Structure 1
Amino acid sequence: MKTAIYSSDKQTHFFQELKGMFSDIKSSNFLAYQLAKRDLQGQYRQSFLGFFWAFAPIIVNSLVWIFLNNSGTVNVNADGNMPYVLFVIIGTTVWSIFTESMLIPLTSVNSAKGILSKINFPKEALLMSGIYKMGFNLILKLVLIAIFLGIYGVLPNLNLLYFFLSLIVIICLSMSIGLILTPIGLIYTDVAKIITTAVPFLMYFTPVVYAVPHAGFFKTLFELNPLTFLFNDARNTLLGYAPENVIYAVVIFGLSFSLLLIGLVIFRKSMPIIIEKIGG
């Protein structure tokens, strides 16, 4: 008599999950594009100032620090090789890209909570929709940087290519962190509040609006922050200087990309459980 043995199919096969995820991303690309298009049109359609709101937080935050620096209220210890306005505009813009990339996975899925348990579709479409929206906003922010570079007569050279590579590393790092936190954040709203509270605090240990201190405890904190070298090279190469931390950036990218793949698998495996919890 033939014996049949049945086993649980709860094991996670990492590369099979990735293959299935990329297949679902490909099949749901049109849905992701339509979701992103709808959200962007809804965001700007009823706004009198339109695309200005993509720049407003960056400009306002930069103006605050420019005022504090010019008034002597705060010693920003800025790099003497570039105008402080460019220093803070570029730093604040790249920082906004970092924070938006981190929140994209969580906000994209949160915005679709109402349909998650009602419509069966690849949930990866929500991630892709968020990436499309982030890409659109990224173009607007790069236009802002280009405008200020033009005002100050800065003509980037071939080092500009490394600026875009630095952006890729920064986005990969932030998205990997956001993706890992997304499953927990969908169940507990505290996670999103912690992120929005802690991330601005991290800015003060990153060369966004002021340079790395020359000595002391805060210099050590800056050097322990992996974003410090990425931000410095991104800003410097945009202004024509050679990158100084290429190997470091490659290592960070490798680690971030690995973490991103792990986050994608965790997202795929956890979504059915999360939908059951938030739907019930």
Structure 2
Amino acid sequence: MKTVVYTSDKKTHFFQELKSIYRDIKSSNFLAYQMTKRDIQSQHRQSLLGFFWILAPVIINSLIWLFLNGSGVVNVNTPEGIPYPVFVILGTTIWNIFSEAVQSPINSVNSGKSIISKINFPKEALLMKGLYTTFFNLVIKMIPIIGILIVYQITPSWSLLLFPFYIIALILFAFTIGLIITPLGLIYTDISKVLITGIPFLMYVTPVVYAMPRAGIFKILFSLNPLTYIINDTRNTLVGVETNSLVFTLVLTAISVIVLLIGLVIFRKSMPIVIEKIAG
């Protein structure tokens, strides 16, 4: 593997940096794969329930809302034609994928703090490790989705073909947000705490466990939240309902790609400062 030396050179040539980042990601792909494999094995080797813990947040959150709705404690509105258990389980699973993707850059780099100041390797490998872990967990999380569709005998329509696009667009959007805040998050632990606190709050202004309100201030908040459209359409592709925001998602994806490239350059240029802070 090629040795890469990070310097504190302040001159930045954007496209040259992108070429270097691409080469480093390509050369460190095997390293990222091995780190992902090691982490997954270490997390589940001594666990009695194994991969169940990947599904646990989705199952627990869904059961809570099913209980609250079934007992009458809350009166949840859902779109016509979609049973509430289907609505909430799909929504919670999709939200959990988003939440994990947002936190994956900072979590994966944080997990490598002990080696980034001691071993010289492309730090982008840590980002790839977080992305690989997210996609691995995504495959596991598809199990309850398939199960609930079978139980309620829901037959997806042709729009199911759009599901891979929507889920990748969601992960890309989330990962880009996480990448942008990672350099600061590595220096200031408050950033991670804000993420942990803020993401659950954001869920309540997103149609995850209930549909968009028909009026009031919360309807405005839902309308201003870009996740409203992408999560609704991602769920719609699974239940055979027509998607409504394909153009919006295409534009959001294009913006995410541009910001992602900028974020990769910022990450690369900030790593010497981050390593100095960590080592110091």
What TM-score comes out, normalization by structure 1 length? 0.95
1:47 is paired with a residue whose SS is coil
Q: How many residues align?
A: 273
1:159 is paired with a residue whose SS is helix
Aligned to 1:267: 267
Aligned to 1:5: none
- Does the 8 Å CA contact 1:162/1:243 hold for their aligned counterparts? no
Give, as a single letter, the amino acid of the residue that structure 1 aligns with 2:208: V
Aligned to 2:153: 153
Aligned to 1:231: 231
1:103 to 1:9, Cα distance in 2 relative to 1, 3 A: closer
- What CA distance in whole angstroms lies between the structure 1 residues aligned with 2:55 and 2:94? 12
Measured after TM superposition, the shift of residue 9 of structure 1 is 5.0
Aligned to 2:127: 127
**Residue 175 (structure 2) pairs with residue 178 (structure 1):** no
Aligned to 1:105: 105
- What CA distance in whole angstroms lies between the structure 2 residues aligned with 1:165 and 1:140? 18
2:158 is paired with a residue whose SS is coil
Give, as a single letter, the amino acid of the residue that structure 1 aligns with 2:250: V
The runs of 5 or more residues in structure 2 that have no matched partner are 1-7
Aligned to 1:187: 187
Give CA-to-partner distance per residue, 1:147-191, whole Å, 9 cap, x none. Answer: 111111122222112122111111111111100000000000000
Aligned to 2:25: 25
Aligned to 1:74: 74
- What CA distance in whole angstroms lies between the structure 2 residues aligned with 1:216 and 1:44? 45
RMSD: 1.1
1:48 is paired with a residue whose SS is coil
Measured after TM superposition, the shift of residue 207 of structure 1 is 0.1
- What CA distance in whole angstroms lies between the structure 1 residues aligned with 2:168 and 2:223? 21
Measured after TM superposition, the shift of residue 70 of structure 1 is 0.8
Aligned to 1:90: 90
Whose Rg is larger?
A: 1
- What CA distance in whole angstroms lies between the structure 1 residues aligned with 2:30 and 2:164? 27
1:220 is paired with a residue whose SS is helix
- What CA distance in whole angstroms lies between the structure 1 residues aligned with 2:110 and 2:226? 29
**Residue 115 (structure 2) pairs with residue 115 (structure 1):** yes
- What CA distance in whole angstroms lies between the structure 2 residues aligned with 1:139 and 1:84? 23
1:162 is paired with a residue whose SS is helix
The runs of 5 or more residues in structure 1 that have no matched partner are 1-7
Give, as a single letter, the amino acid of the residue that structure 1 aligns with 2:86: L
Greater mean alpha carbon deviation, residues 195-204 or residues 234-243: 234-243
Greater mean alpha carbon deviation, residues 130-139 or residues 153-162: 153-162
What TM-score comes out, normalization by structure 2 length? 0.95
Which consecutive aligned stretches of 4+ in structure 1 deviate over 3 angstroms post-superposition? none
